[in-house]
Amino acid sequence: MRSLSGTCALFLLALCSLTVRADPQPEKIASGRSVYFAAELGTTPDILGMGFEKNLSTTDSNGDSHRVYAPKAVDVAVNQYDAKFEQIENSLLLDAHGHYLFVQAGVKASSTRRYMVVRAYQVTKVAKLLAEGRPLASAPMYASKIFYGWALYVVIEGDSTSFTADIAAELMTAGANLSKAIKTKHLTSHVHLIGLRPRKNGDIPIAMTLDDVKQGFETAPEPQPIFVEYSLLQDLVVDSIPWSMNKLTPGRYTVSVELAVMDTKANGKAWDVGSKPDPLAALVVDGQAITSCKQQDSIESHCLHDLVIDVTESTTLALHVTESDIAADDDVGDTVPIVIMQSGLVPGTPFELRTRRQLRSASLLLTPMH
């Protein structure tokens, strides 16, 4: 299971048992590992020591239940806030999340969709099973801990062809702009609250910091069960859920450009007497300058942004930059033309262009239009 954003994953994610995928790749989750699933409404310490199937059912295919350990537990006081992201990458947890979290958030699992779960939570108490003696029965896993406090779960979903691993990585660095980033990437979000109530009516805010949660929500007077830890007694073979990387394909894209010019002309003289240069940047597509813009009094230029171009198998792209002057424009430099489809450019990721003469640096961002 891949850990995201530098934190250990708390979830292993699973596919709904009714979902059908073509040629799924098996993945083994080793015995002795722990997995963490959202706590169902009404969860009590009685579940500690109870045996569970992979779909979180307490009964096996014969309808029998299995108590692995007696429900003896001890409460441990905790004070921990955290926010974690996780891609759903195998069939264990889409089953488990589909069992409760997805249902409560209004999400229906599908093999043509991709999902990420975000959880901002405060833990104030942990009920820990005292697993004494040998197991009383056999089961794939058993409930070993219940975590209490409050939690804000966000289920983010999108089509498998557009919600890629690259976009998931971008969301993990969005911070306070997560809600905006979800909309920008044309994804859908669903919020499920445990032990929290919004202070205002309307859309539920997506809060990632403790201060934002306190500002946007009231907490329940008593800590609530927010997630359960299950300990695996058996190796579990599950199906992996592949996440594609962004691939460049012919189509319509928006282009944004960032560039910087050298501090002086090639001869060491200032671009403009008493002021910084006025770089005039032209976007050159298939040998033709299709648009240009001027950045006033700046070494850098950011004015070429959100320009729409059509990319084919042979489309070329380059930049040409001059220093705009009343008397005469000075040539700054340009970039080596690239054939976009052969460049190795990844949509949604800045791509560095090779610059010439007094053009210090230049990068472009190509974003597919949906």
Mean pLDDT of 119-123: 97
Does residue 6 register a pLDDT over 60?
no
Does residue 7 register a pLDDT over 50?
no
Window from 141-155, 207-221, 231-245, 324-338 with minimum mean pLDDT: 324-338
Q: What is the model's pTM? A: 0.67
pLDDT of the residue at 23: 52
* Closest by CA position to 146, among listed 194, 114, 89, 102: 194
Does residue 4 register a pLDDT over 60?
no
Does residue 192 register a pLDDT over 50?
yes
Helix, strand, coil fractions of the chain, as percent rounded to 5: 10, 45, 45
Q: What are phi and psi of 309, to 5 degrees?
A: -135, 155
Give the long-range contacts of residues 57-65, CB within 8 A, separation 24 or more.
60/139
Does residue 3 register a pLDDT over 80?
no
Mean pLDDT of 76-103: 92
pLDDT of the residue at 327: 66
Task: Show the domains of the chain with their CATH numbers.
Answer: 26-239 (no CATH), 251-368 (2.60.40.150)
CA distances from 158 to 94, 161, 337 (A): 15, 8, 34
Does residue 16 register a pLDDT over 60?
no
| Residue 161 banded pLDDT, cuts 50, 70, 90 | confident
Mean pLDDT of 74-93: 94
Mean pLDDT of 249-256: 94
Name the region of 341 (left: φ>0; alpha: ψ -120 to 50; beta: rest): alpha
What is the chain's mean pLDDT, rounded? 89
Does residue 19 register a pLDDT over 70?
no
Does residue 293 register a pLDDT over 50?
yes
- Rounded Cα gap, residues 108 and 299, in angstroms: 51
Does residue 1 register a pLDDT over 90?
no
Q: Hey, is 200 helix, strand or coil? A: coil
* Closest by CA position to 105, among listed 56, 35, 152: 152
Does residue 10 register a pLDDT over 90?
no
Mean pLDDT of 209-228: 96
| Residue 2 banded pLDDT, cuts 50, 70, 90 | very low
The whole-angstrom distance between residue 325's C-alpha and the CA centroid of its chain comes to 45
| Residue 274 banded pLDDT, cuts 50, 70, 90 | confident
The answer for residues whose C-beta is within 8 angstroms of residue 199's C-beta and 6 or more apart is 215, 216, 217, 218
Task: Report the percent of the chain where pLDDT is more than 90.
Answer: 74
* Closest by CA position to 324, among listed 364, 292, 350: 292
| Residue 24 banded pLDDT, cuts 50, 70, 90 | low
Does residue 14 register a pLDDT over 60?
no
Window from 43-47, 91-95, 299-303 with minimum mean pLDDT: 91-95
Residue count (the chain)? 370
pLDDT of the residue at 258: 95
pLDDT of the residue at 214: 93
